[in-house]
């Protein structure tokens, strides 16, 4: 299953992230890392499915085949730990991007309440599922 999710990230999500960030945030991705891992001094390992960097924002991505409420709690923890794991991005606000193959309306509303940008398969390989007026949360340290 993990290998299949890696393929989803590499084949569907990663090629779409720069376009989606430009569409929603009006920013150009200057660095995009897939399966970004960092070993901490205490030997813990942090891994993100993808990490997109612009001059103004860092955008961590979590990709799941089916988006559930537990994924939000886990992703909030990942966003909170990002500054510890990747201190070089301390000065930049974070916009969390959750990706899935499909998203139910109730799950999308829950994601918006938490401030997450949600992308899923649509007319394009990946497209924004949030309402057009939705403004994603900028997570600060």
CATH code for the structural domain at 2-128: 3.40.1350.10
pLDDT tens digits along 70-80: 888 888 888 88
Is 2 a residue whose pLDDT tops 70?
no
pLDDT tens digits along 81-132: 888 888 999 899 999 999 998 889 999 999 999 899 999 988 777 889 999 9
Q: What are the angstrom distances between the C-alpha of 83 and each of 2, 38, 46, 66, 73?
A: 25, 12, 11, 27, 17
The conformation of residue 121, written as its DSSP 8-state character, comes to -
The dihedral formed by the CA atoms of 70, 87, 92 and 61, expressed in degrees to the nearest 10: -30
């Amino acid at each position: 299953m993990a290998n299949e999710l890696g393929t989803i990230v590499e084949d569907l999500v990663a090629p779409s992230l720069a376009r989606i960030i430009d569409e929603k945030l009006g920013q150009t991705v200057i660095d995009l890392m897939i399966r970004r891992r960092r070993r901490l001094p205490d030997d813990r390992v942090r891994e993100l499915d993808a990490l997109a960097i612009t001059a103004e924002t860092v955008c961590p991505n979590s990709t799941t085949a089916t988006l559930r409420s537990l994924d939000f709690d886990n992703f909030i923890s990942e966003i909170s730990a990002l500054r510890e794991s990747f201190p070089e991005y301390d000065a930049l606000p974070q916009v969390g991007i959750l990706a899935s193959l499909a998203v139910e309306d109730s799950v999308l509303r829950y994601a918006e309440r938490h401030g997450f940008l949600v992308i899923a398969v649509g007319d394009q390989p990946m497209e924004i599922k949030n309402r057009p007026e939705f403004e994603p949360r900028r997570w600060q340290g």
